[in-house]
Structure 1
Amino acid sequence: MRRALLKLLITAAGFYVAVLAALWWGQEKLLFAPDRLPADHVFHFGNDVHEVSVARPDGARLDALHLRLPAPRGIVFYLHGNAGDLQSWFGNVDVYRRAGYDLFMLDYRGYGKSTGRIASEAQLREDVRAAWQQIAPLYAGKVRVIAGRSLGTGLAAGLAAEVHPELTVLISPYRSMRRLAAELYPWVPGALLRYPLDTEALAPRITGPVLLLHGDRDSLIPPAHSAALQALLPHARFIPIDGAGHNDLQHFPAYTHAVREALDAAAQR
């Protein structure tokens, strides 16, 4: 009986170690769910939306879309979530047209028409920084807004902590990917996560106004994450969106109103 129990324990331990090893080496497949687009795909979001690319030193090229108005109040630099591509993420562009803001959004490596593959958090942040450095000089003296949604909120917080925009918008943010993983998968050691994306460590370095938007029925990233971030940011405003989950905030008038109100306020400061 003891031998059988010992054998069972050894087998279970071996299986557990194998699962952890798979999680270590396969994290990109778990965190990132890109949709690919053919290289000749044509976007149809209006004549004021232009496709641009961001070249990286290793040869990768990041595909991006840039809404350009005749006389914009500023720029919204938007970092999208972990699934899809620009074709699905750029559909809410009229919100920014009506607010009088240009919109810039890129696809991460391996998403849409972007080439290369995501290999580390440092690389991902460097890609975001390079895209910002390419677009920001066009908006000297205008309002700069950095926005992120879901996965993109950790990247947006990091960039905002560096460049100090006039407004930061975090939509369905997490305190850190490590904390979120601990809630969803408590049996996985936190040290195993190669993409900690520690938003709460970066948040105190964001100096300007911050808007936190979160569906009150979000079961993937609970709204308690936004509440915890607000506690670290006395200049942040947290607006729960009644009835919204994780993927449908953009369909709620309260969400659109909050975004428009924040953009108008940023332009008036």
Structure 2
Amino acid sequence: MNPRISRVMRWLLFLAAVPLLLYVMALAWLWWRQERLLFQPDPWPPEKPAALAEPDIHEVWVDVPGARLHAMHLQRPEARGLVFFLHGNGGNLASWFVNADFYRRAGFDLFMLDYRGYGLSSGSITSEAQLMDDVRAAWAAVAPQYAGRPVVVYGRSLGSSLAAHLAVEVRPALTVLVSPYRSMAALAAEQYPWVPLALLRYPLRTDAIIHRIEGPVWLVHGESDTLIAPAHSEALRQAAGARARLLRLRDVGHGDVQDSAAYLQALRAELDRLPAP
């Protein structure tokens, strides 16, 4: 072969290999950095959140292997029941625990957990199994106090899959999933179609287990949600069967559900519908 042609061919092969190498490097980066992409905690603010100045809101610490989890608990002796709240992938309790008055008026206590690395919780999230074990530990720390009273398992966005998995195990009076997703794999396929699904270490398959929730399931989704499409809630409603209902909120996106008067009115109605202790 002509040496000049041989050099050209080697150069062409090199150019063809560069995109493949970059692609493999990108996949390797995603494999090791998934936690940074999926979990986005904010540091605890230097000033104590106003909610902690209220006499019926208490800080709770839950010890788990390798970490100590921080939680906040609106707790009153006359409460009808409990809402066990699993929040989304950003922020921390300082930004999430802001609607205590709503639950007071509804007659329910509120327990909210910060995951590992969020706010004052120590440690870091390293697997889906670890994350679910932490949720179970928090549940075990608070649920026995509400024996004989209705308990609601509530999950928002990221927390919706955790809530659904917990509800299968603990059989709450009501499961609330707000801005949920079918699975992290389905969400990734929509937003990052170039990423092989086998690469995901946090599949979070709500769609595979929601039919096993024995009690009523209430789904809520903003019709203007551009992060998680309302079609995810539609698919989950169908998978859950006759026990599930879906509230679609007009002109509501992903991060402003809690500001919707229609949502708050409907949530209050759901809580009022639960049986008395």
Same fold (TM over 0.5): yes
2:58 aligned partner: 50
Distance 1:197 1:85 in 2: 20
Quick check: 40-49 or 79-88, which moved more?
A: 40-49
Q: Confirm or deny that 1:255 pairs with 2:263.
A: yes
Check the 8 A contact 2:59/2:72 in 1, yes or no.
yes
1:12 aligned partner: 19
Q: Which one of the candidate residues 66, 77, 81 is aligned to 2:84?
A: 77
1:94 aligned partner: 101
Distance 1:261 1:8 in 2: 63
Q: CA shift at 1:3, angstroms?
A: 4.0
Q: CA shift at 1:267, angstroms?
A: 3.0
Distance 2:184 2:102 in 1: 29
Check the 8 A contact 1:69/1:100 in 2, yes or no.
no
Check the 8 A contact 1:73/1:267 in 2, yes or no.
no
2:246 aligned partner: 238
When normalised by structure 2's length, the TM-score is 0.93
Q: Confirm or deny that 1:135 pairs with 2:132.
A: no
Structure 2 residue matching 1:155: 3-state secondary structure: helix
Distance 1:5 1:197 in 2: 42
When normalised by structure 1's length, the TM-score is 0.96
Aligned AA (1:159): L
Distance 2:68 2:267 in 1: 30
Distance 1:236 1:2 in 2: 61
Alignment of 1:1-269 (within 5 A): 2-37=9-44, 42-45=48-51, 46-58=54-66, 60-233=67-240, 234-267=242-275
Check the 8 A contact 2:160/2:180 in 1, yes or no.
yes
Structure 2 residue matching 1:91: 3-state secondary structure: coil
**CA 70–268 in structure 1, closer or farther in 2 if over 3 Å, else same:** closer
Structure 1 residue matching 2:221: 3-state secondary structure: strand
Aligned AA (1:254): A
Q: CA shift at 1:32, angstroms?
A: 0.4
Q: CA shift at 1:2, angstroms?
A: 4.7
Distance 1:238 1:268 in 2: 24
Aligned-CA RMSD value = 1.4
**CA 253–155 in structure 1, closer or farther in 2 if over 3 Å, else same:** same
Q: CA shift at 1:43, angstroms?
A: 3.2
Deviations for 1:123-157, whole angstroms, at most 9, x for unmatched residues?
Answer: 00000000000101000000010000000001000
Distance 2:194 2:63 in 1: 40
Check the 8 A contact 1:35/1:112 in 2, yes or no.
yes
Structure 1 residue matching 2:26: 3-state secondary structure: helix
Task: Kindly tell me the number of residue pairs found equivalent between the two proteins.
Answer: 267
Structure 2 residue matching 1:141: 3-state secondary structure: coil
Check the 8 A contact 1:63/1:114 in 2, yes or no.
yes
Aligned AA (1:16): Y
Q: CA shift at 1:44, angstroms?
A: 2.3
Check the 8 A contact 2:173/2:215 in 1, yes or no.
yes
Q: CA shift at 1:232, angstroms?
A: 1.0
Fraction of identical pairs, as percent? 57
Q: CA shift at 1:70, angstroms?
A: 2.8
Aligned AA (2:212): R
Structure whose alpha-carbon radius of gyration is higher: 2
Distance 2:218 2:12 in 1: 55
Distance 1:194 1:41 in 2: 36
Structure 1: unaligned runs, 5 residues or longer: none
Check the 8 A contact 2:149/2:276 in 1, yes or no.
no
Check the 8 A contact 2:168/2:212 in 1, yes or no.
yes
